[in-house]
Amino acid sequence: MEPEEKEGKQDKEQEKPSGPSTPVPLVRPPQPISHEPVKPAGENLIEVTDLTWEKTVEKATDPVTVMFYSPTCTFCHQMEPYFRAFAKEFSGTIIFARINIIANHWTAERYGVRSTPTFKLFCNGKPVTEMIGAVYPAILKKTVEEVLVRGKECGKKVTEIDYEITGYG
């Protein structure tokens, strides 16, 4: 073989891609958008989004406790085991849900959530109480119990919010 043929053969060998024969996609394929809240198997805690908020919280017949959280929030990580335990303890009487405010900022803005964790309790789709920050788990539990004591009456004495948005007062 002549030197020029050797160089041409080496160049062709270098052009061959290394690795698997099928190309690996750089981007995850798009997932279908679900309008149903996500409830992992064996869990009593529901993960809601902007799309599932209305069905899960505003139109719920049972009281709902919502934890507004951020994945980077250390206090959220501290409170989550207690929140999950309460979801299991009160299963069937009150709905426990959480919403990521980074991925679902519309709902957080709508309810004035400015820090995490924020816990809001809803009755008949209306917010009745709120706690902000890493509250004592006993206080959170006591608040949930008080909402349950009031029962179906808890949301009837709350001022109705008009969601019609206009530029005029």
Least confident of 22-26, 61-65, 125-129, 133-137: 22-26
Q: Is residue 110 part of a domain?
A: yes
Q: What is the pLDDT of residues 28-63, one digit of tens each?
A: 455 555 556 665 545 789 999 999 999 999 999 889
What is the domain-level CATH number for residue 95? 3.40.30.10
Residue 100 main-chain phi, psi, to 5 deg: -80, 115
Strand ordering across the sheet containing 45-48: 45-48, 95-100, 64-69, 118-123, 126-132
Q: Domain tally for the chain?
A: 1
The whole-number pLDDT of residue 149 equals: 85
Q: Is residue 131 part of a domain?
A: yes
Q: Is residue 128 part of a domain?
A: yes
Report if pTM > 0.95.
Answer: no
The whole-number pLDDT of residue 44 equals: 86
**Cβ contact 102:70 at 8 Å:** yes
By residue range, what is the domain housing residue 118?
49-149
Q: Which of 78, 69, 157 is nearest to 107 (CA)?
A: 69
Q: What is the pLDDT of residues 78-128, one digit of tens each?
A: 999 999 999 999 998 999 999 999 999 999 999 999 999 999 999 888 898
Q: Is residue 1 part of a domain?
A: no
Q: What whole-number distance in Å separates Cα of residue 134 and Cα of residue 1?
A: 76
Q: What whole-number distance in Å separates Cα of residue 68 and Cα of residue 75?
A: 12
Q: Is residue 19 part of a domain?
A: no
Q: Is residue 169 part of a domain?
A: no
Q: Tokens 């309790």, residue?
A: 121
Q: What whole-number distance in Å separates Cα of residue 111 and Cα of residue 106?
A: 9
